[in-house]
Amino acid sequence: MASGAPVVLAEERRGRPQGAAFEVEQPRKQESRKLEDAFVGEDKEIRSFEGFEAPLGKRLLFYFLGFISVGLVFLLSKWSPRVRMLLRLRRCHLRDAEFVRITLDDGHVDIEPVSEVQGPTAASGGGGAGGAAAGGGLGGPALNGIGGGSGAARQRRPHKLLEYRCNRYFYVEEVGSFVPVPDVPKRFNEQLMTSATRLAATG
C-alpha cells in the first residue's frame, strides 16, 4: 500500500503541467483571433460618400425632442447613425456637406463631420513641395493637377477636409467626391529643410 502511493503522486504530477498548459494557451489563441479580426475590420474599403447638412430647423427640432425625452433622443442618435440622419440631417451635395455618411464594403456606416481648410493646397493646383508646405503637409502627388487653378476665386474658397480612421480626404470638384491624401514621402521634411538651407546660403 505504501509503495503504491508515490506512483499515484508521480502520475498526478506528470499530468498537471499538461492540463495547465492547455488551459493557458486557449485564451491566447482567442485573443489573437480577436486582434486579427479587429485589424481586418480597419482595412475595409470605402464604398461611397454621401453628403448631409444640418439645417437650423432640424437642429431646433432635434434639441426640443431631446429635451422632452429627457435625453433619450440624444442617446439614440449617438448609437444609431440612421436615427441621427433622420432627426438632425438632410441630404445635400458633397460640395456643400457639413457631414459625410461613409459606407464601407461590409455595410458598416459612419457619419463624420467635414472641416474647412483655408488657403491653397495641392487640391487647388498648389502641387509640389510648395503646395505641400502651404497645406501643412496635407497635399501630395496624387492630387497634383486635380482641381487646377481657375482663378483667385477658387483658391480663396475653403477646401473641404474629411478625416476618417487616421486618413485624410479632400473634396475635389472635378471628381465630385473626396480623394484620399497620400502619405508624405519618407524623409520629405529633411529634404525640404536641406533645400531651404541651401537656398538661404546661396541667396
Q: With beta carbons less than 8 A apart as the criterion, state whether 149 and 190 touch.
A: no
Q: Confirm whether 11 is domain-assigned.
A: no
Predicted TM-score (pTM) of this structure: 0.53
CA 135 to the chain's CA centroid: 19
Asked if residue 67 belongs to a domain, the reply is yes
88 and 138 together in one domain: no
CA triplet 100, 38, 97: central angle to 5 degrees? 5
Q: What is the pLDDT of residue 44?
A: 58
As for how many domains the chain has, the answer is: 2
Q: Is the pLDDT of residue 199 over 70?
A: yes
In terms of residue numbers, what domain contains 139? 118-203
Residue 85 lies in a domain: yes
Q: What is the number of alpha carbons within 13 Å of residue 122 lying toward its C-beta?
A: 24
Residue 7 domain-assigned (yes or no): no
Whether residue 157 sits in one domain with residue 135? yes
Q: Are residues 109 and 141 both part of a single domain?
A: no
**Cα R_g (the chain), whole angstroms:** 28
Q: What is the pLDDT of residue 182?
A: 78
The residue count of the chain comes to: 203
Pair (165, 98) in one structural domain: no
pLDDT in tens, 15-49: 555 544 444 444 444 444 443 443 344 445 889 99
Q: How far apart are CA 27 and CA 29, in angstroms?
A: 5
SS3 content of the chain, % helix, strand, coil (to 5): 50, 20, 30
Q: Beta partners for 111?
A: 101
Structural domain contains residue 33: no
With 0-12 CB in 10 A as exposed, 13-18 as middle and 19+ as buried, what is 203?
Answer: exposed
Q: Is 53 helix (H, G, I), strand (E, B) or coil?
A: strand
pLDDT value at position 163? 92
Does 122 share its domain with 200? yes
Which among 92, 117, 142 is the end of a domain? 117
Does any domain span residue 20?
A: no
What confidence tens digit (pLDDT) does each residue in 110-156 have?
Answer: 999 999 887 654 444 444 434 443 344 444 444 544 444 455 545 56
- Choose one of 83, 117, 151: the last residue of a domain: 117
3-class secondary structure for 11-34?
Answer: HHHHHHHHHHHHHHHHHHHHHHHH
Where do we find the cell 485624410?
168
Each residue of 174-191: pLDDT tens digit? 889 999 887 766 676 777
CA neighbor of 168 nearest in space, from 184, 181, 185: 181
Residues 132, 113 share a domain: no
Return the higher-pLDDT residue of 126 and 53: 53
